[in-house]
Amino acid sequence: MALARLRSDERPGDTYEFSVLSSWLERLRGLLGTGGDARPVLLVRCGSVHTFGMRYPIDLAFVGERGEVLRVLRDVGPGRVCSCAGAECVAERPAREGEWLVEGEHLWIVSVSADAAGT
């Protein structure tokens, strides 16, 4: 599994870290089976997610092919299906207060590397 670091044009001092989920099975599972302290994940080649089987709510951000945040949903509870036309990937994290990605924000990749915790 890879670890991606992203930055925002609108908040250049902030860096977001995500575990990259690229296989069909990884994307299907997403944060399922994790706890509220799980690392955020980035589901690539994905424009729709489900929360069936989740034990806690999650925050979502749908991102377009040019890094634009198209749609943000906060505190999405279990048993839902969420999608966004034009999304190429989805960022997920356990729901929490505080800053998160914002609609209209533009993200770019700082680095992608092997995740030492996953090897």
The 3-state DSSP class for residue 116 equals helix
Question: Are 49 and 43 in contact, with CB atoms under 8 Å apart?
Answer: yes
d(CA 119, CA 56): 27
- Tens-digit pLDDT profile for residues 43-94: 999 999 999 999 999 999 999 999 999 999 999 999 999 999 999 999 999 9
- Tens-digit pLDDT profile for residues 10-55: 998 899 999 999 999 999 899 999 999 999 999 999 999 999 999 9
End-to-end Cα distance, the chain: 8
Domains of the chain: 2-118 (2.60.120.1140)
d(CA 117, CA 55): 23
